[in-house]
Structure 1
Amino acid sequence: MTCSKIFSGDLPELTNEIIQYFRKDSSTLYSCILVNRLWCRLAIPILWEDPFSIPTQHYHCIKTYLCFLNEDDKAKFNEYGINDNLFVSNTLFNYPSFIKYLDASTIYNSIQNWIITLVDKCNHKLRNKLGNLVYRSLLELFIENEGYLYFLNVVLSTSYLHKYFDDNLDLILQNPNLTYNIRGLIFGNRFNSFRCVFQNTIPFLKFLYSNCNLISTFCFEFPEKLLTNNSLIENYLSQIIISQHNLKEISFGYFINLYNPFLSLKNSNCSNTLNTIIFNNIDFN
């Protein structure tokens, strides 16, 4: 009797708890959306929390997202040979509002894979210009549709990732609601350019300690030579730590001077919540 009520939708709270168990099982969630309207309504938001990580969907979701653009924004794609016929015309859900996880590298790769299927004959410079347009359009859609993140991963490992981040950082800085609720943050630079570190990192770190104080897991990694004599990064990192109220795990990677960050751990709001400190490629000598 109970099973029949669950499948018929008579016990929505219990049904929701059951579907939550499938959060990491995308294939089962896809099956759930075929059961009935209730199961579909409960499963779709979970599937679209982190669509770029789903192997079978990672770049197909871009076409669905872009259908939410207004006509003027869609017209920007015409110069690249992308017309309105490529965008999904009818959608049942407000998919951009469901976003919860953003990984800059994964999104970049998804965008590049999507572009290759459409305009594989365009030159490299034009392809990167189009990629930047898609990247910015996605961020704008997440913001306009009131999406908010639980997890943000920004590891800048190539010059192209740096350019995407640099060109679109203004959207993040001007719209704090997108990142206000983040619980997990990975931020790092693996590209060999101090200029990129200084230009991109400082404004972002200032923004984080001013607007994000709910982080429970924080990973920060930069190559040693990029942090030499750069006390600004260390000071802002300390400010981020001090501003947190529920920090449980922190990870330092490729870090040169841990004195100030460690001192801030002792005096921070998270002194009663922190239970894990991880060191990755740290030279304690």
Structure 2
Amino acid sequence: MGIVKEIKLRVRNSLKLRKSKRGSLINLQNLPPDCLERIFQHVYTDISNENIIASTITNLNSLFMCAQVNKLWCALSIPVLWRRPFSIALDGKKNAQLINTIISFLSEQEKNILEYQKLKFEPFTSHQFNYLQLIRVLDYDNFIKSVHRWVVRYPNDCKDFTKSRMLTQLLGKVLLKENALSGFKTFNYFRVRTYDNFNFIPLNKLSPNNSFDWLSQLTQLEYRNPHRVNKMNLNEFLDFFSIITSNCNQINNLSLDVRIDDFAIDHSISKLLLN
């Protein structure tokens, strides 16, 4: 992990050459692309367990600075930055930049809806990458939180939570649509208890045209539901796994955290576990 710390120091010092322990000079800009790519991946995953959020933000900042060095570094670091954009729920300006980028992929008609709802966003003129197609890991709960914070905290200060739900559905649909071909590799579905009085949005409410092609490449699924599954929410629970069993054939890593009241695990879940 020494090279990870080294590259962070280089970035913070405008990429000045530093001496290695052996006394020779290392020019990071001349490293082969595959080496740089692995270094950037280590920069992103070099997380401190003591403060995961602060450590993650620091690493994101380091990668963002790497993306500004030259075209090669940009081409290698941007996919790492966007591989898992909702690993944590950001806030403030950083979250605003993330959500504004996704908003830029909406149609003009959909953007007009936001303007009509008096939601402030920064227009994009062009994209160097299709950022949404770079996403490989989707943290569903953090995605919902991030959109909600964009609406009710910054850059907007809206108390009408229906606007938050509306925007979540718009952005969710465009995000899933852009990943219809490449698909996510990992999907983390963490059912929240209550978040700022904002109701959780079931998965089938976001999929465009009720299509789940974006699940076709899924290899890892983590599902957490702190609510006990009972007669009140059983349909939501079964609907989710019905979608999974119908559209996912490549899952090889499955993690379930479910509390069930007086119900045997449904056949749909059993089928998934046996595949």
TM over 0.5: yes
Residue of structure 1 aligned with 2:246, choices 192, 198, 210: 210
Aligned counterpart for 2:177 among listed residues 144, 149, 152 = 144
Contact 1:80 1:130 in 2 (8 A): yes
CA contact (8 A) 1:105 1:154 kept: yes
Report if the CA contact (8 A) 1:108-1:161 is conserved: no
1:186 to 209, 222, 231: 222
Q: Superposition pairs for residues 141-180 of structure 1, below 5 Å?
A: 141-146=174-179, 148-158=183-193, 163-165=200-202, 168=205, 171=207, 174-180=210-216
Where 2:233 maps in the other structure, the secondary structure is helix
- Partner of 1:52, secondary structure, is coil
* Structure 1: unaligned runs, 5 residues or longer: 244-285
2:74 alignment partner in structure 1:
40
Pairing 1:20–2:41 present: yes
User: What per-residue deviation string (whole Å, max 9, x for no partner) do you get for residues 22-53 of structure 1?
Assistant: 23242332232122101101100110122223
Partners of 1:167 and 1:213 in 2: CA distance: 18
Within 2, Cα distance between the matches of 1:61 and 1:107?
A: 10
Structure 1 pair 42–89 and aligned structure 2 pair: CA distance change class (3 A):
same
Aligned residue pairs, count: 231
SS of 2:43's partner is coil
CA distance 1:190–1:20, shift in 2 (3 Å): closer
Check if 1:50 corresponds to 2:71.
no
Corresponding residue to 2:139 among 103, 122, 125: 103
Q: Distance in 2 between matches of 1:198 and 1:173?
A: 24
> Percent identity between the aligned chains?
21
TM-score normalised by structure 2 residue count = 0.72
CA distance in 2, matches of 1:188, 1:195: 18
> In structure 2, what is the Cα distance between the partners aligned to 1:208 and 1:161?
25
| Paired residue type of 1:108 | I
1:247-276 deviation line (CA, Å, top 9, x unaligned): xxxxxxxxxxxxxxxxxxxxxxxxxxxxxx
Asked which structure has the greater RCO (Cα within 8 Å, sep 6+), the reply is 2
Q: Per-residue displacement from partner, 1:150-173 (whole Å, max 9, x unpaired)?
A: 22121223366764126615x179
Letter in 2 for 1:239: K
When normalised by structure 1's length, the TM-score is: 0.69
Counterpart residue identity of residue 64, structure 2: Y
Structure 1 residues 16 and 183, CA, compared in 2 at 3 Å: closer, same or farther?
Answer: same
Q: Which structure shows the bigger proportion of residues in helix conformation? A: 1
Partner of 1:240: 272
- The answer to whether the 8 A contact 1:152-1:186 is kept is yes
How many angstroms does 1:213 deviate by?
2.8
Mark the CA change 1:179 to 1:3 in structure 2 (over 3 Å): closer, same or farther. farther
Say if 2:191 and 2:200, in contact at 8 Å, map to a contact too: no
Contact 1:181–1:212 (CA<8 Å) still a contact in 2? yes
1:13 shift after superposition:
3.3
**1:74-101, CA deviations, whole angstroms, 9 ceiling, x for partnerless residues?**
1121232125x63333332211111122
Mapped partners of 1:173, 1:185: distance in 2: 23
2:124 corresponds to 1:88:
yes
Deviation at 1:241, TM superposition (A): 1.2
